[in-house]
Amino acid sequence: MLESLRGLGYTTAAALADIVDNSISVGATEVRLNFNWNGASSWVMVLDNGWGMEDSELESAMRLGDRNPLEKRERADLGRFGMGLKTASFSQCRRLTVASVKNGATSCLRWDLDALAAKPDGGWLLFEGPSQGSESYLAPISQMKSGTIVLWETMDRIVTDGYTSDDFNDLIDRVEQHFAMVFHRLIQGPSARLKILLNGKPVVPWDPFMTGHAAKTWDSPIAKTATQSGIVEVECHVLPHRDKLTPAEFDAGGGPEGWTAQQGIYVYRNERLLVAGGWLGLGQGRAWNREEAYRLARIRLDIPNTADAEWKIDIRKSTARPPVSLRPWLTRLAEDTRERARRVFAYRGSPAPGLGGSSVEQAWRVEHSKSGARYKIDEKHPVVSAVLGGAGELLPMVKAMLRVVEETVPVQRIWLDTVENKETPRTGFLGEPPEKVVAVLKTIYADMVGRRGISSDSAKKMLAVTEPFQNYLGLVAGLPDEPAQDGQ
């Protein structure tokens, strides 16, 4: 059975997080993880300053299923199944030693799968004290009044054939990233209640919601709903578009798995992250996938540990499923957030023309019909209508030209470029120097005021609501009152 339990499917990072959960549940304010490379004899240690265990408590802790999952737990307890310490450890190592000190008394017990396998009829032997030669690993505990060390040795699932110290270092990086994410709320801020050190280096939190970033697009008000198993709290976020972030911020914002994978709902239980994104099987008709266009949508969802059964929390603390009764509510909130995020993605962080109450004169119209969409130039756009009005005998040619432009919109190319670059192509003078915008503005302005006799004040007002100049209000306001006659 112990061998079978090794296959629960933990990653090393998730297994270590399960060990640290225990430390947090027993009031630890500091957890130190040490990774020591020594080939097949490498070892990992988790040391916490929680309240520790006495002999009998440690003996119980080493038992599988030592607590009934139906039991009510302390509000801040991150445990549920009475399994994690054992299942997480065995998923990575064959020897698990736990030493704990409480009220000055130290106890130490050890599971050793190799020793058990060597004597199949010997019963469930739990050994006392560290393995021979490993005594020094437990030295830190002798200086503590209370606390616990969890020691993993014979890490056969980590140090496999051909595994090198480089791989071990990569593993440490992955654990660091995972911890920065799953414990970010516990280790964040000056009054953080927990400090996690990885080989002596503090883990820096990764906040999926970029709280406090100046370019943050949108935060919803906090929504709460009462369920039979406690209160569920949701806060929806739309993150800033790439254009509003520095390359370093964009890189960091993507998180361990990158922007597309990290979109969606973040489920926290007692402020510890269980699920980092994805749409939890929600959707209208078909379940939503993680798609590029929605990558700026991230939703914080908090559940209490009284909701474990209803949310189908698993032993690894890496899945959660919303109860059926909450799905319509969550779907509504998520749909609204996704739509907002899609607009920010599509319009690269600028307000979408024609949205948000202001009516902007658009240059393009989309005609939807049964057979699909067509893109048409809007003849009401002030610049287009001015050209048509002043075209004279050229009018048929100008119309023919517009039709050619409409019929050759490079939609396939745009679509491919969007997919390949994970970004919509640049439009609306994005990234162009202001002179280029001003040059075009002046030409149009001169025609409005000079040829058509519109007052300079009205002309500016019109330009301020004309695509794409609605994003350049400063440049519009800066146009001279008397335009140059040649339009330059």
Ligand X SMILES: Nc1ncnc2c1ncn2[C@@H]1O[C@H](COP(=O)(O)OP(=O)(O)OP(=O)(O)O)[C@@H](O)[C@H]1O
* Dist. CA 259–CA 246, nearest whole Å: 15
Inter-axis angle of helices 382-390 and 434-446, nearest 10: 50
With binding defined as CB under 6 A, does residue 85 bind ligand X?
Answer: yes
Adjacent-strand bridge partners of 236:
299
148-207 positions binding ligand X, by CB under 6 A: 148
With binding defined as CB under 6 A, does residue 24 bind ligand X?
Answer: no
- The CB-nearest residue to Mg ion is 84
Backbone angles phi, psi at 23, to 5 degrees: -60, -45
Q: How far is the CB of 76 from Mg ion (least distance, A)?
A: 13
Q: How many CA atoms lie within 13 A of 256 on its CB side?
A: 18
End-to-end CA distance of the chain: 84
With binding defined as CB under 6 A, does residue 272 bind ligand X?
Answer: no
With binding defined as CB under 5 A, does residue 22 bind Mg ion?
Answer: yes
299-318 positions binding ligand X, by CB under 6 A: 315
> Of 107 and 470, which has the nearer Cβ to ligand X?
107
Q: Pattern 2-21, binding to ligand X, x per CB under 6 A?
A: ----------------x---
Secondary structure of residue 12 in the 3-state scheme:
helix
How many residues of this chain bind Mg ion (CB under 5 A)? 3
With binding defined as CB under 6 A, does residue 84 bind ligand X?
Answer: yes
**What are the CA-CA distances from residue 133 to residues 41, 93, 136, 286 (Å)?**
11, 17, 7, 57
Q: How far is the CB of 327 from ligand X (least distance, A)?
A: 25
With binding defined as CB under 5 A, does residue 79 bind Mg ion?
Answer: yes
Give the list of residues 6+ apart from residue 285 with CB closer than 8 angstroms, or none: none
For the chain, count helices (H), then strands (E). 14, 16
314-343 positions binding ligand X, by CB under 6 A: 315
Q: How far is the CB of 22 from Mg ion (least distance, A)?
A: 4
> Of 83 and 210, which has the nearer Cβ to ligand X?
83
**Residue 247: how many CB atoms within 10 A of its CB?**
8
What is 160-208 written as a DSSP string? Answer: -TT--HHHHHHHHHHHHHHHHHHTHHHH-STT-S-EEEETTEEPPP--T
With binding defined as CB under 6 A, does residue 91 bind ligand X?
Answer: no
Are the C-beta atoms of 25 and 52 separated by less than 8 Å?
no
* Dist. CA 435–CA 439, nearest whole Å: 6
> Of 86 and 241, which has the nearer Cβ to ligand X?
86
With binding defined as CB under 6 A, does residue 138 bind ligand X?
Answer: no
Element (H, E) at 400: helix 395-407
**Residue 289: how many CB atoms within 10 A of its CB?**
12
> Of 85 and 172, which has the nearer Cβ to ligand X?
85
Q: How far is the CB of 54 from ligand X (least distance, A)?
A: 10
In the block, tokens 């679509």 appear at: 415
The total number of residues written for the chain in this structure: 488
**What are the CA-CA distances from residue 417 to residues 33, 145, 245, 269, 424 (Å)?**
44, 61, 21, 40, 7
61 binds, among Mg ion, ligand X, none (CB under 5 to 8 A by kind): ligand X
Structure tokens at 239: 């993150």
50 binds, among Mg ion, ligand X, none (CB under 5 to 8 A by kind): ligand X
410-469 positions binding ligand X, by CB under 6 A: none
Binding residue for Mg ion (CB under 5 A) from 52, 84, 278, 382? 84
The one-letter amino acid at 50: G
> Of 148 and 154, which has the nearer Cβ to ligand X?
148
Are the C-beta atoms of 212 and 183 separated by less than 8 Å?
no
The one-letter amino acid at 381: H
Q: How far is the CB of 68 from ligand X (least distance, A)?
A: 10
322 binds, among Mg ion, ligand X, none (CB under 5 to 8 A by kind): none
Give, in degrees to the nearest 5, the angle at Cα 305 between 221 and 151.
120
Secondary structure of residue 113 in the 3-state scheme:
helix
Q: How far is the CB of 8 from ligand X (least distance, A)?
A: 11
Q: How far is the CB of 192 from ligand X (least distance, A)?
A: 19
With binding defined as CB under 6 A, does residue 22 bind ligand X?
Answer: yes
> For the CA atoms of 401, 407, 408, 414, what is the dihedral angle to 10 degrees?
130
> Of 74 and 482, which has the nearer Cβ to Mg ion?
74
- Classify burial at 302, counting beta carbons within 10 Å of its beta carbon; exposed 0-12, middle 13-18, buried 19 or more: buried
Part in contact with Mg ion (CB under 5 A); list of ranges 20-28, 36-44, 245-253, 270-278 = 20-28
Q: How far is the CB of 318 from Mg ion (least distance, A)?
A: 13
344-403 positions binding ligand X, by CB under 6 A: none
Are the C-beta atoms of 178 and 257 separated by less than 8 Å?
no
> Of 5 and 464, which has the nearer Cβ to Mg ion?
5
Q: How far is the CB of 112 from ligand X (least distance, A)?
A: 17
148 binds, among Mg ion, ligand X, none (CB under 5 to 8 A by kind): ligand X
Part in contact with ligand X (CB under 6 A); list of ranges 22-30, 198-206, 234-242, 432-440 = 22-30
Q: How far is the CB of 315 from ligand X (least distance, A)?
A: 6
> Of 46 and 360, which has the nearer Cβ to Mg ion?
46
43-82 positions binding ligand X, by CB under 6 A: 48, 50, 52-53, 61, 66-67, 79-82
Contact residues for Mg ion (CB under 5 A)?
22, 79, 84
Query: Which residues lie near ligand X (CB under 6 A)?
Result: 18, 22-23, 26, 48, 50, 52-53, 61, 66-67, 79-86, 148, 315
